[in-house]
Structure 1
Amino acid sequence: MPIKTTLAACLLAVTTVLAAGANAATVRTAPVDPDATPKTRAIYSYLRATWGKAVIAGQADLSWDDSIDMAERVHADTGKYPALIGYDFMDYGRTGAGLSGQHQVEEAIAFAARGGLVAFHWHWRDPSLLRTDRVNQAQFYAGGDDPARRTGFTIPMANGDLDRNSPAFAQLDDGIDLVAAQLRRLQDAGVTVLWRPLHEAAGSDGQGWFWWGRARSDGESAAAAHIALWRHLYDRLVHVHGLHNLIWVWNGQDARWYPGDDVVDIAGYDIYDTTDNRSYRSQLATYRKTAAMTGEPKPVALTETSYIPDPDAMASDGAWWLWFMVWNDGSGPAGVSNADNFWTGEQYNSNAHKIKVYQHPNVITLDKLPRF
């Protein structure tokens, strides 16, 4: 082997060992919520110990179609079940018979009973419509070509902080209280939640896709508004509603939007890479960028993705995503390749790659999880 290659390999190995040692020494030993339940503490400790050694296999549920079981689709293709399923509170609060997506809590409780890990995100629909007869028209996008798919709701701000005298502030609390009732059901069932609210806040280049990251024209900072809302959400859920089953996962996509080490357990990033061309690269640059967004070291997760990074590439690059979360399917039956199908078919990940990932010794699937 050439000396140059050997030296490079040695330097990479030393860097990886030093980084792993620093992570082990400085990452918090407990969740940011000092009153976290014993089970939540145990799961956090497991996640902290896993980071840098293995990657947890995750799959987003198809929340708007209760008839499709994404965990079963993964099992059918790989012979293994994901260790982590991501659910969504998107359709809670809507009314009427036959609505899909309102059984996510029951599905999460059932998956946790099988020994699985549970994550929840929240496509938070326009809070101003929650208590009106237009609740089923509520949307969450801040922009887009179709007016029917966007909302004008804006985080109420005054003098750099939430405007607590605004009617919109009370509407925010209505939404928080709605989801708190569902998180309470999960806590009562003994389910710890990897809780990822207000996701993708900065969107791209600070232009948020959702109302909680909307670009503002009132002189207030969109980043400051996001931070203020995150910290209020934390305070209300933890201190007002007494929810201590939450591990707080932030993926605001921009360091300027980071709400603080005292209210974040895990940093994440969502990657929909249109240039990957099935190289299944580790996404090292984004991993490093995400890790650098926090003040103190936090575990780093790939909170949404299309392509699954190759576990061998993650190991060789030192890009140890704590978990990957493949987004859900959107069109057609199992096995159909379609741009809207992030798991089924071979639009993004070949069948051979899926099997390699799920059978890999460094990938944690449902059967490899401890009983918490």
Structure 2
Amino acid sequence: MTQLISIGVYIALAFASFATAAPYSVNDGAKTYEAENAVLSGTSVDTAQTGYTGTGYVTGFDEGTDKITFNVTSDATKLYELTIRAGAIYGDKRTTVVLNNGISSEVFLPAGNTFVDVAAGQVLLNEGANTIDILNNWGWYLIDSITLTPSKPRASHNIDPLPRNPAADSSAKALYGYLLSIYGKKILSGQQELSHADWIGKQTGKTPALVSVDLIDYSPSRVERGTVGTAVEEAITHHNRGGIVSVLWHWNAPAGLYDTEENKWWSGFYTRATDFNLTTALSSTTNTNYTLLIRDIDAIAVQLKRLQSAGVPVLFRPLHEAEGAWFWWGASGPESAKKLYALLYDRLTNHHGVNNLIWVWNSVLPEWYPGDATVDILSADVYAQGNGPMSTQYDQLIKLGQDKKMIAASEVGAAPLPRLLQAYQTHWLWFAVWGDSFIDNPDWNSLENLKEIYNSEYVLTLDKIQGWGA
């Protein structure tokens, strides 16, 4: 749930005034634009770090309003691949790219001791003048240049025909088959929490096809403090009206909750709120914390089996956003996270016989990927303003799964506009907007945009998917 971390790192969108610079021109071939020749706002040119091209690079990303602006002209309205040559010499970083003061995308810059080329998705340039801004976001990185290359048509998908679990039940197979039938042709509208889905129905006249629920309050370390989960009932309600259900689990740490004024027990899924160490817990099958992991998985199995008994197939997205390390299941690094995912898959599938699940992996970085054998769908959580197509993460997931896995925007801050999805050919299977402060916040989702999205022929709503499992 990216919404729970500081949103400030995602929305550094204040613009300082700047002088007009001569525009670059993009025609048929690739073109590189040196950052030192762009318009700088709060940033500066330096030459201390070796490995740059041109006459220098841009540094000084240390304030929220710091940015670079590239003025680019194009001879036609055209899609281009954007590459950023950057140096994340102070550790992993994230930057924000904004096209023409509108749609934004977040780009991950991997740590390294020199400059590297980072794929940053696509930009749809208008004929004539355009601006490409690189905003501070996490800050403390170096920008050497950007390169724009005309995009090639996307290749055809080659998706796995069946779920990976050979014992998947008929409901899971039916859902997977339906998703396969619409992939690349339509997108399922989705919303976190049933109440927000119903709110959308009142605002737009259309209800989301997919509702996502959270098993957070079934975590044993929360139940022992009095929480009572309602997610299963909400999932069954949406299923019974013909909808599709997605499930995530903010897994409150099994033990070691600080429960201080700064880090209450109910924030125990955060790394900052617990001393639970995953690597230590997984070091043997006899230590106390390992047995607590099993206890928690078994508790969640009870809830998933309730859904299985009710005939509800589930898009199950465990260990989400592990690569961010802000949740304890990602804090020990990729190897421990993958080992926990394997344990979770084995315990639920082989021990408990929970076979109504379609397994959704939620990370874009290759080193975190648990492998094709236990993953059905790849996904990303994207919190970027402007209702854009999220092409950066889409391209990363296409590469990660070699286009054999369907791809979903499992959590978003801003619902994507269908016309941009189609223009960029980003074939997201579904989107699900987060709840409070996002779906009901016009800075992220204006009512005008929501009406456009929910009344688009490209977008599948609850009324359009009735009978999907037949």
Q: TM-score of the superposition, structure 1-length normalised?
A: 0.80
Which is higher, the Rg of structure 1 or of structure 2?
Answer: 2
Q: Which residue of 1 aligns with 2:170?
A: 38
Counterpart CA distance in 2 for 1:137 and 1:362 is 39
For 1:291-337, what per-residue CA distance to the aligned partner results, in whole angstroms no more than 9, with x for missing partners?
212256211100111111111111111111110010011xxxxxxxx
Counterpart CA distance in 1 for 2:179 and 2:256 is 38
Structure 2 letter corresponding to 1:54: K
Q: Which residue of 1 aligns with 2:12?
A: none
Q: Which residue of 2 aligns with 1:219?
A: none
Q: Which residue of 2 aligns with 1:366?
A: 462
Counterpart CA distance in 2 for 1:60 and 1:227 is 26
Change (3 A) 1:151 1:361: same
Determine if contact 2:164/2:375 at 8 Å carries over to the other structure.
yes
Q: Which residue of 1 aligns with 2:330?
A: 213
Determine if contact 2:254/2:293 at 8 Å carries over to the other structure.
yes
Alignment partner of 1:61 out of 193, 197, 210: 193
Change (3 A) 1:314 1:162: farther
Q: Which residue of 2 aligns with 1:310?
A: 417
Q: Which residue of 2 aligns with 1:352?
A: 448
1:252-331 to structure 2, matched below 5 A, reads 252-273=363-384, 276=385, 278=386, 280-294=387-401, 297-329=404-436
CA drift of 1:166 comes to 2.1
Query: Which secondary structure state, in structure 2, belongs to the residue aligned with residue 346 of structure 1?
Result: coil
Counterpart CA distance in 2 for 1:243 and 1:323 is 24
Q: Which residue of 2 aligns with 1:338?
A: none
Q: Which residue of 2 aligns with 1:238?
A: 349
Q: Provide the aligned length of Structure 1 versus Structure 2.
A: 320
Determine if contact 1:127/1:172 at 8 Å carries over to the other structure.
yes
Q: Which residue of 2 aligns with 1:70?
A: 196
Determine if contact 1:129/1:138 at 8 Å carries over to the other structure.
no
Does 1:154 find its partner at 2:283?
Answer: no
Query: Which secondary structure state, in structure 2, belongs to the residue aligned with residue 164 of structure 1?
Result: coil
Determine if contact 1:249/1:264 at 8 Å carries over to the other structure.
yes
Query: Which secondary structure state, in structure 1, belongs to the residue aligned with residue 463 of structure 2?
Result: helix
Q: Which residue of 2 aligns with 1:183?
A: 304
Counterpart CA distance in 2 for 1:320 and 1:292 is 14
Change (3 A) 1:13 1:293: closer
CA drift of 1:286 comes to 1.5
The sequence identity of aligned pairs, in percent, is: 37
Change (3 A) 1:365 1:137: closer
Q: CA-atom RMSD, angstroms?
A: 2.7
Once structures 1 and 2 are overlaid, which stretch shifts more, 168-177 or 341-350? 341-350
For 1:233-267, what per-residue CA distance to the aligned partner results, in whole angstroms no more than 9, with x for missing partners?
00000000001000000102422100010000000
Counterpart CA distance in 2 for 1:213 and 1:57 is 28
Q: Which residue of 2 aligns with 1:249?
A: 360
Q: Which residue of 2 aligns with 1:124?
A: 251
Once structures 1 and 2 are overlaid, which stretch shifts more, 230-239 or 306-315? 306-315
Task: Give structure 2 stretches of 5+ with no counterpart.
Answer: 1-26, 29-74, 81-149, 258-263
Task: Give structure 1 stretches of 5+ with no counterpart.
Answer: 63-68, 144-149, 216-221, 330-340
Change (3 A) 1:137 1:39: closer
- Which has the larger strand fraction? 2
Q: TM-score of the superposition, structure 2-length normalised?
A: 0.64
Change (3 A) 1:175 1:98: closer
Counterpart CA distance in 2 for 1:183 and 1:115 is 19
- Which has the larger helix fraction? 1
Change (3 A) 1:157 1:363: same
Change (3 A) 1:353 1:223: same
Counterpart CA distance in 2 for 1:325 and 1:246 is 18
Query: Which secondary structure state, in structure 2, belongs to the residue aligned with residue 213 of structure 1?
Result: coil
Counterpart CA distance in 2 for 1:137 and 1:309 is 31
CA drift of 1:79 comes to 0.5
CA drift of 1:153 comes to 0.9
Structure 2 letter corresponding to 1:171: L
